[in-house]
């Protein structure tokens, strides 16, 4: 089979009696860049150690270029596979140049000195990783990020067919991170393959061809980033409530993490949010995360607030874009605002199309309305020749609350005025 | 540039060893002046005998013993990834001494070097197996095991020698080390230790990579288990041969690589020969001091006097002990 670099079938192994990895099967073709993601303790690093032969295979097979991993002499193995460990343990003052030259070791005969070709490979790797000016410095004097770049230079100088990287970008600053990952990605295009463990899911999603999601020592999912990074899988494996969006630059999935998620709490007042044009996105995320039972609308179907509400599974009234609110929808809205304990209005753009959203507020008790508006006029981008602004002013003078910062909202919600007991 | 600097250091060390041997030859309880040597020592038979039959072989033996212990120490520190490892702290020397004592009490004195060789290798692997737990060698474990094995073997040596009717002074010789028995007959055996020392030097690149961490050795083309066992056997072998001549002398193997690492850096291509020179220099000096001013005290006492504070300093510098 051409183009196949690594074939792992039914691999199980561990450090002591208990297996840490269970029945792992994976096919790695040339020119592929595979990212391994998964929570701590899912077996990512152990997996890398087996591939680097630091840990023996207990069950199953690992075939490297058609031959069993065990059948390789270490010298031949070193010519085919390079490994960058999570943290380099070097505590002696080797000059950077010598450390990178160690990568050439499999290519140098025991009784020979490094050839001109070896020196050339080292210089090229130093240049690629931007560490050429560090060549004479002792490795112990470098920062964590510089050290990591040197370790990547070493693996590039080694020139292997399969590169194993165990969280290689952990300490590297963002500028070098992208530069190095691009170099490694280019390297993988040249009849090679790269397998990297990534802590940063989004970095992995942006640059890897395929992702392997590990969980409890097993491969939970494997495939293109958009196939692996689904809300269900991420929630199951990482125990977080993710919001998955599209990275606007790379077009790949982008995972946002909700730090704390509370299920809707019946003891908290229910809220209806009237917003639009992105003015409510943050509130939707904040309020649903904080355990308020929330509803939204009426929103245009393609409005970013609407997309955010859908992502957070918030019940939302929506109409096709740029259309007037139908009477039917207006009735639903009216019902909704009557029912809600609190109605929040943001500083959204108002035109004749969505003006009914504001007009409907005159039907309810103004005391349960909170307007999040700029501290002075204009309160909102008004495309109704001032009609909407007039309505807002009437509401405020009738006793609607006004705050100018969303941060004050939670405070206000927790205050006496809106606690559920006093309202009933 | 570094290559030139390192070559100069090595040449300098070699010259220093030669000078130390010469100085050692002309110092001692019996005054033999430099002029006397230059104007023809051959006329005075007692003085020429002291010089050529006692002092010169002893100084050369001291240099070779020191050299052997130091390069074995340098290799062991890397193999165990431990600053405090050396033939003495790990009980390898004591193992060699047990081999010699067994050869003496069974009357097979001619086999003493071979017995020492086997004893040292056996002891090194015993410590290695006892201290290794779940593939990890902790510093504390390794040293405590080394000390325990060393104490046990030392007691075996004492028992053997006491029951074979040796006096305290001879027992001290094997336990603390000394060179007062050294003669020209020992020199060929000691020269043999240069062969395994050469093997260690040939594995410099492997040692360099192993000193940089366990994880990547395999992907850099080295079989760490095999290399470790081979080089441990080589280092222990050197120790055994050396011990059969000098008894177990401490701290030379510990101190020399540390001093040279500061001067030449950690690269074993330089570190091994440099430690060899440093060990030779230190032991020639220590032996001369002991012989001239301390009434031929076992040289191990002199090396311990200077080496033990150094050892303490290394322990204090470590955080994981």
pLDDT tens-digit series, residues A44-66:
888 998 998 888 888 888 989 88
pTM: 0.76
Q: Which residue of A has its CA nearest to B226?
A: A74
A238 and A286 in a single domain? The answer is: no
Q: Which of B135, B214, B223 sits opposite A74 (nearest CB)?
A: B223
Using a CB–CB cutoff of 8 Å, tell me whether A52 touches chain B.
yes
Is some CB atom of chain A closer than 8 A to the CB atom of B2?
yes
Q: Give the closest of B205, B208, B265 to A93, CB-based.
A: B265
C-beta of residue B61 within 8 angstroms of C-beta of residue B283: no
* A80 and A180 together in one domain: yes
Q: Do A92 and B205 touch (CB under 8 A)?
A: no
Residue for token pair 């150094």: B310
| Judgement on whether residues A231 and A275 belong to the same structural domain of the protein | no
Asked whether residue A42 falls in the same domain as residue A169, the answer is yes
Nearest CA in chain A to B136: A15
Count of domains observed in chain A: 2
Q: Is the same domain home to A250 and A286?
A: no
Kindly determine whether residue B222 and residue A78, on different chains, have CB atoms separated by under 8 Å: yes
Which of B213, B261, B267 lies closest to A90 in CB terms? B213
Helix B194-202 vs helix B204-211: crossing angle, to nearest 10: 60
Interchain pair A93, B220: CB under 8 A: no
Domain boundary residue, one of A207, A227, A257: A257
- Tell me how far apart the alpha carbons of residues B269 and A401 are, in angstroms, rounded to a whole number: 79
Picking from A213, A230, A257, the residue at the C-terminal end of a domain is A257
Q: Are residues A235 and A374 in the same domain?
A: no
Same domain for A252 and A305, yes or no, is no
pLDDT in tens, chain A (424 residues): 458 889 998 888 888 778 888 888 999 988 889 999 988 888 888 899 899 888 888 888 898 988 988 889 998 999 999 998 887 778 888 999 999 999 999 998 877 888 899 999 999 999 988 889 998 899 888 888 888 889 989 999 998 999 999 887 777 788 888 888 888 888 777 778 899 998 888 888 888 889 999 988 889 989 988 888 887 888 888 877 777 777 777 778 887 766 555 666 777 888 999 998 888 888 888 888 777 888 997 888 888 888 888 887 888 988 888 777 888 888 889 998 888 889 999 989 998 888 888 888 888 888 889 998 888 878 888 888 889 999 999 999 998 888 887 777 877 877 766 665 544 4
Q: Are residues A195 and A313 in the same domain?
A: no
Q: Does B261 touch chain A (CB under 8 A)?
A: yes
Indicate whether A74 and A172 sit together in one domain: yes
Domain stop point among A193, A224, A257: A257
- Residues from chain A that touch B205, judged by Cβ atoms under 8 A, are 102, 105, 108, 110
Are residues A95 and A55 part of one domain? yes
- Tens-of-pLDDT digits for all 321 residues of chain B? 477 888 999 999 999 999 999 888 888 777 776 666 666 655 666 777 777 788 889 999 999 999 999 999 999 998 888 888 888 888 898 898 888 888 888 877 788 888 888 999 999 888 888 877 655 566 677 788 888 898 899 888 888 878 877 766 677 777 788 888 888 888 998 999 999 999 999 999 999 998 888 778 888 988 888 888 899 899 989 998 998 888 888 889 988 998 888 888 889 999 999 999 999 999 999 999 888 888 778 888 888 888 888 878 877 775 443
Same domain, A300 and A245: no
Contact across the interface for A85 and B134, Cβ inside 8 Å: no
pLDDT digits (tens, 9 = 90+) for A7-44: 998 888 888 778 888 888 999 988 889 999 988 888 88
- Domain CATH for A41: 3.40.50.300
The answer to whether position A12 is within a domain reads: yes
Q: Which residues of A touch B261 (CB under 8 A)?
A: 92
In a domain, A82, yes or no: yes
Residue A371 domain boundaries: 271-423
Q: How far is the C-alpha of A147 from the C-alpha of A121, rounded, in Å?
A: 19
Using CA coordinates, name the residue in chain B closest to A89.
B213
Residue A315 maps to which CATH number? 3.40.50.720
Q: Do A212 and A108 sit in the same domain of this protein?
A: yes
Domain assignment present for A164:
yes
Whether residue A266 lies inside any domain: the answer is no
Q: Which of B214, B216, B267 sits opposite A94 (nearest CB)?
A: B267
CB neighbours of A403 closer than 8 A, spacing ≥ 6?
A370, A371, A372, A409, A412
A vs B, Cβ pairs < 8 A, gives 86
Residue of B2, B208, B214 lying closest to A102 (CB–CB):
B208
């Amino acid at each position: 089979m051409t183009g196949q670099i690594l074939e792992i079938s039914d691999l199980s192994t561990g450090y002591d009696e208990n297996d840490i990895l269970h029945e792992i099967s994976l096919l790695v073709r040339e020119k592929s860049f595979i990212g391994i993601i998964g929570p701590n303790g899912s077996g990512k690093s152990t997996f890398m150690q087996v591939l680097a032969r630091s840990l023996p295979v207990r069950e199953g097979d690992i075939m490297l270029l058609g031959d069993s991993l065990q059948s390789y002499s270490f010298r031949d193995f070193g010519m085919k596979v390079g490994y960058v460990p999570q943290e380099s343990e070097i505590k002696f003052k080797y000059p950077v140049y010598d450390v990178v030259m160690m990568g050439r070791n499999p290519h140098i005969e025991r009784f020979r000195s490094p050839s001109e070709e070896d020196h050339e490979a080292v210089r090229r790797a130093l240049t690629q990783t931007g560490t050429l000016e560090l060549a004479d410095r002792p490795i112990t004097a470098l920062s964590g990020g510089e050290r990591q770049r040197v370790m990547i230079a070493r693996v590039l100088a080694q020139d292997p067919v399969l590169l194993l990287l165990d969280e290689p970008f952990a300490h590297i600053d963002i500028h070098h991170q992208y530069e190095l990952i691009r170099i490694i990605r280019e390297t993988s295009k040249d009849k090679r393959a790269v397998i990297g463990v990534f802590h940063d899911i989004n970095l992995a999603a942006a640059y890897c061809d395929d992702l392997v999601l590990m969980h409890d020592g097993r491969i939970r999912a494997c495939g293109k980033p958009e196939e692996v990074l689904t809300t269900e899988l991420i929630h199951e494996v990482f125990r977080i409530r993710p919001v998955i969006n599209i990275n606007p630059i790379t077009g790949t999935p982008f995972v946002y993490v909700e730090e704390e998620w509370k299920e809707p709490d019946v003891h908290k007042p229910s809220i209806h949010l009237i917003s639009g044009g992105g003015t409510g996105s943050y509130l939707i995320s904040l309020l649903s995360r904080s355990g308020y039972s929330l509803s939204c609308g009426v929103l245009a179907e393609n409005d970013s607030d609407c997309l955010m509400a859908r992502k957070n599974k918030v019940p939302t009234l929506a109409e096709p874009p740029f259309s007037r609110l139908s009477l039917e929808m207006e009735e639903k809205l009216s019902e909704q605002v009557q029912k809600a304990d609190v109605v929040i209005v943001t500083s959204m753009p108002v035109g004749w199309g969505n003006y009914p959203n504001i007009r409907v507020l005159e039907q309810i008790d103004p005391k349960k309305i909170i307007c999040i508006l700029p501290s002075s006029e204009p309160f909102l981008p008004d495309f109704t020749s001032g009609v909407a602004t007039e309505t807002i002013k009437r509401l405020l003078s009738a006793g609607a609350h006004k705050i100018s910062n969303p941060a004050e909202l939670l405070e206000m919600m927790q205050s006496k005025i809106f606690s559920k007991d006093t309202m009933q | 540039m570094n290559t030139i600097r390192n070559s100069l250091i090595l040449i300098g060390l070699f010259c220093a060893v030669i000078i130390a041997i010469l100085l050692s030859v002309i110092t001692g309880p019996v005054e033999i002046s430099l002029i006397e040597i230059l104007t023809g020592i051959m006329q005075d038979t007692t003085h020429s005998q002291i010089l050529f039959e006692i002092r010169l072989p002893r100084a050369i033996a001291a240099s070779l013993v020191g050299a052997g212990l130091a390069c074995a120490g340098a290799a062991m520190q890397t193999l165990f990834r431990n600053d405090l490892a050396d033939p003495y702290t790990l009980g390898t020397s004591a193992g060699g001494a047990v081999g010699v004592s067994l050869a003496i009490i069974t009357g097979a004195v001619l086999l003493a070097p071979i017995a020492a060789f086997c004893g040292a290798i056996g002891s090194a692997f015993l410590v290695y197996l006892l201290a290794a737990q779940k593939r990890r060698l902790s510093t504390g474990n390794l040293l405590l095991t080394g000390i325990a094995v060393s104490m046990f073997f030392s007691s075996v040596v004492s028992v053997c020698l006491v029951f074979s009717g040796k006096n305290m002074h001879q027992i001290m010789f094997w336990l603390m080390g000394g060179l007062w028995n050294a003669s020209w007959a020992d020199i060929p055996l000691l020269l043999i230790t240069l062969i395994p020392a050469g093997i260690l030097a040939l594995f410099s690149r492997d040692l360099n990579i192993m000193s940089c961490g366990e994880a990547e050795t395999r992907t850099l083309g080295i079989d760490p288990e095999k290399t470790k066992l081979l080089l441990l056997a080589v280092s222990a072998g050197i120790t055994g041969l050396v011990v059969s001549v000098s008894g177990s002398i401490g701290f030379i193997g510990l101190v020399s690589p540390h001093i040279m690492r500061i001067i030449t850096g950690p690269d074993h291509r330089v570190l091994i020969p440099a430690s060899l020179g440093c060990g030779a220099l230190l032991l020639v000096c220590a032996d001369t001091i002991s012989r001239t001013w301390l009434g031929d005290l076992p040289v191990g006492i002199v090396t311990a006097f200077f080496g033990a504070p150094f050892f303490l300093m290394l322990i204090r510098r470590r955080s994981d002990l």
